[in-house]
Amino acid sequence: MRATVSQTSAEGFEAIVLENTHLRALVIPELGGRVWELEDRIRERQWIWHREDVPLQKTLPGAVYDDVWAGGWEELFPNDAPGRFEGRNLPDHGEWWTTRWTLTDSSSGPMANIRLSAKSSVLKATYLKEFRLANDASTLSVTYHIRSEELQPFHFLFKQHLAIKITPDCRLSMPGGRVQAVDPSFGTLLQGDATFKWPFGKAGERVVDLRVISHPSTKAKEFVYVRDLPQPWCGVQDNQKGALIRMNFDSHQFPFVWLFLTYGGWRNLYTAVLEPCSNLPKDLSQAVRLGQSARLEPGQEFTTTVSVTLAGLTETDH
């Protein structure tokens, strides 16, 4: 089967499907250009989480993200935490997730391709997002272009936000790194803000293995930063399905990974969100002070590619 692009709809919204024998991805341009479905066709595993109590809907800029978050694979730009920064009022979780993107090009063949474009409403900047899927590949790649039309430099955050549909048979997968809780008062798995090596943290005398995904009845939750990854990837494996999802990224543009984990403990939701990020921490002003924020000069373009692979487990993955 060659890689194809086709038009469809998803819950009343126009959508685009890229697919081949291995993988099927459904993209909704109007809703932030988010990926709404990502299916491993070989192992019959749909990886993207959908929130049951919030419908898929068009959301106006300025909305409270947590109240209307429906799931999917989104991106955050130019910020996470809302507030005033460098003379601009920045909306909650940035503007991309509420932006209507326009399909500017698509093609099927040896390489299926769709290109989306948008223009910022909070900055003088233009955006391009290009999805690619080869005819025999199990990897979907996305290339991003952010071009500044500002007259002055600006700092920004750019972050992936891939919500995974999990079960207790799943495990978080990372190559290593140093881990720290984002906010010790938020989580239930760790105690304090001490840094530790992935995956073993501590809660008092108890050792916590962050690879383990708890049953929703545990009402657990945690939010962590991971830095100093030996290789630039993160993922989830499903031991029952014999399947894995792995996100690969550029370690220069994404030196950090955030993991938002709610196992029934936050709003009764059950998902793990993979968040490779340009910045640390989430507060832009603090990230700038620490020299851990992305920045664009006038006329400069930020470009990076992220790829997601859907595959089977090997003996070393268990």
SS (H, E, C) 108-158: CECEEEEEEEEECCCCCEEEEEEEEEECCCCEEEEEEEEEECCCCCEEECC
Kindly report, residue by residue over 225-266, the tens digit of the pLDDT: 999 999 999 999 999 999 999 999 999 999 999 999 999 999
What pLDDT shows up at residue 234?
A: 99
Tokens of 115: 């290109």
- Radius of gyration for the alpha carbons in the chain, expressed in angstroms and rounded: 19
Amino acid letter for position 135: N
Q: For residue 195, what are the β-bridge partners?
A: none
CB half-sphere exposure, 210, CA atoms < 13 A: 34
Cβ atoms of residues 48 and 138 within 8 Å: no
**Amino acid in the structure at residue 161:** H
Q: What is the pLDDT of residue 125?
A: 98
At 296, list the tokens.
């664009």
- Name beta bridge partners: 27: 16, 35
CATH 3.40.30.10 fits 4-317, yes or no: no
Please, are residues 160 and 248 in contact by the beta-carbon 8 Å criterion? no
Cα three-residue angle 13-15-20, rounded to 5 degrees: 155
Per-residue pLDDT at 316: 59
How many angstroms separate the CA atoms of 210 and 190, rounded? 9
**Residue numbers in the chain where pLDDT is lower than 70:** 315-316, 318
Give the pLDDT of residue 318.
61
In this structure, how many other beta carbons lie within 10 angstroms of the beta carbon of residue 13?
15
HSE-CB of 33 using CA atoms within 13 angstroms: 26
pLDDT for the residue 270: 99
* 97, 114, 132, 134 from 144: Cα distances, Å: 15, 12, 12, 18
Q: Which amino acid is at 234?
A: C
Instruction: Tell me the H-state helices in the chain.
Output: 65-68, 284-289
In sequence order, the β-bridge partners of residue 129 are 116, 144
Q: How far apart are CA 159 and CA 275, in angstroms?
A: 6
Query: What 3-state DSSP class applies to 251?
Result: coil
pTM: 0.97
Closest CA to 143 of 115, 105, 102: 115
Q: Kindly list the distances between the CA atom of residue 79 and the CA atoms of 8, 83, 95, in Å, as whole numbers in the listed order.
A: 31, 9, 8
Cβ-based neighbour number of residue 266 at 10 Å = 20
What is the amino acid identity at position 3?
Answer: A
Q: Which tokens hold the place of 240? A: 């029952």
Structure tokens given for 225: 């930063």
